[in-house]
């Protein structure tokens, strides 16, 4: 059905990536302090792209005969066991312990793709959000669109608002949705380019569920910053990210209906951008409560490695060889009353 993976060629191509020493030095200092002994294992994976893995999320809107058997032949298995608190039957994802990448499909206008390649940990915020049919859902920072696509594999929202402020990333989001979602379902979707910090004021208490997959210091990509000057600038601006993330989170709370829930996620290990942002939200928003997601974490513990010692409402996926997923931070909160 598909050509076998040419892992050796893939690995050689990735070996040419150069690690940015200024970023690695910065991470070394910060994450040794924050993660302790776990950092050395994580560092080995993040600095070794040839051991990275990709999961395959099947598109329920474009079933492809033979795809699942082809994945099985190449050593892929269903990524999530059936014991999770929330696992819709339509959400089908395959992963493999071997490094490498299943062949990507090119965007073709008017034709739906059969699958989406992603870091398997990217599905954890979607599973934590627990979207049900008919709910009004907001994906506040939606590009490139993988989590939006995954949400639509799980349920059919009453209305689904996908927002991306950055112009280039917004076009990427639109193309992703066009590649995976058929016209009848597109009628449920609004794609906007609003400042996410303002949506809560523009649409107060409008949504049942909100995903805040916040802009963050992407540890994987930052380590391979091609331009050292850009890397230095990123590290200087890194201190400002937590303020932006908190503002986005506060906007999301305003946009939520009482009784609604939100999930906050990033792809960084940084405590300042993760648990510190959530702690600030909980201390400053009296109508917010943490939601226990430890059951989901236990259910996927065979697939993922988690940082120990986190609160019940949060988790942090740590990459390790053979389970090179993450970094991915996930926290869940519930709005208990009007602001």
β pairing state of 55-58 and 115-118:
antiparallel
Residue 141 among known ligand-binding residues:
yes
Contact 123, 79 (CB under 8 A): yes
Residue 166 among known ligand-binding residues:
no
Contact 162, 178 (CB under 8 A): no
Residue 144 among known ligand-binding residues:
yes
H-type helices in 256-313, by residue range? 275-284, 294-299
Residue 213 among known ligand-binding residues:
yes
Residue 142 among known ligand-binding residues:
yes
Q: Could you tell me the two tokens for 31?
A: 């994450």
Closest by Cα among 265, 282, 281, 271 to 309: 271
Residues with a catalytic annotation lie at 267
Contact 221, 20 (CB under 8 A): no
Residue 143 among known ligand-binding residues:
yes
Residue 98 among known ligand-binding residues:
no
The rounded distance, in Å, linking the Cα atoms of 197 and 54 is 32
The rounded distance, in Å, linking the Cα atoms of 261 and 155 is 16
Q: Is the peptide bond before 115 cis (omega within 30 degrees of 0)?
A: no
CA 207 to chain centroid, in Å, comes to: 20
Residues 6+ apart with CB under 8 A from 247: 197
Residue 324 among known ligand-binding residues:
no
Backbone angles phi, psi at 115, to 5 degrees: -160, 165
Q: Could you tell me the two tokens for 298?
A: 């236990």
Residues 6+ apart with CB under 8 A from 253: 200, 262, 281, 285, 287, 288, 333, 335, 339
The rounded distance, in Å, linking the Cα atoms of 292 and 333 is 9
- Residue ranges of the annotated binding site for S-adenosyl-L-methionine are 141-147, 164, 195, 213
- Residue ranges of the annotated binding site are 141-147, 164, 195, 213
């Amino acid at each position: 059905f598909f050509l076998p993976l040419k892992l050796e060629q893939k690995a050689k191509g990735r070996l040419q990536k150069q690690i940015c020493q200024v970023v690695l030095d910065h991470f070394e200092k910060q994450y040794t302090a924050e993660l302790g002994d776990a950092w050395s294992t994580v560092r080995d994976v993040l600095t070794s792209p040839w051991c990275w893995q990709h999961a395959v999320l099947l598109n329920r809107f474009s079933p492809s005969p033979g795809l699942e058997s082809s994945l099985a032949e190449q050593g892929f298995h269903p990524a999530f066991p059936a014991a999770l608190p929330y696992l819709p039957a339509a959400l089908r994802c395959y992963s493999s312990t071997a490094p490498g990448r299943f062949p990507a499909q090119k965007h073709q206008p008017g034709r739906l793709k059969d699958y989406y390649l992603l870091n398997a940990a990217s599905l954890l915020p979607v599973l934590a959000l627990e979207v049900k049919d008919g709910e009004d859902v907001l994906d506040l920072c939606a590009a490139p669109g993988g989590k939006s696509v995954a949400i639509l594999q799980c349920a059919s929202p009453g209305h689904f608002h996908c927002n991306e402020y950055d112009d280039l990333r917004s076009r990427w989001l639109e193309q992703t949705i066009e590649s995976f979602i058929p016209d009848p379902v597109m009628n449920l979707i609004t794609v906007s380019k609003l400042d996410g910090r303002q949506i809560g004021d523009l649409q107060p208490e409008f949504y049942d569920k909100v995903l805040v997959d916040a802009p963050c210091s992407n540890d994987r990509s930052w380590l391979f910053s091609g331009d050292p000057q850009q890397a230095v600038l990123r590290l200087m601006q890194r201190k400002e990210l937590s303020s932006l993330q908190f503002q986005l989170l506060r906007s999301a709370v305003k946009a939520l209906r009482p009784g609604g829930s939100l999930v906050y996620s990033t792809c960084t290990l940084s405590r300042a951008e993760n648990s510190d942002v959530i702690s600030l939200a909980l201390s400053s928003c009296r109508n917010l409560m943490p939601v226990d997601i430890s059951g989901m974490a236990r259910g996927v513990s065979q697939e993922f490695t988690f940082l120990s010692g986190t609160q019940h409402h949060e988790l942090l996926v740590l990459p390790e060889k053979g389970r090179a997923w993450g970094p991915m931070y996930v926290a869940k909160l519930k709005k208990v009353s009007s602001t």
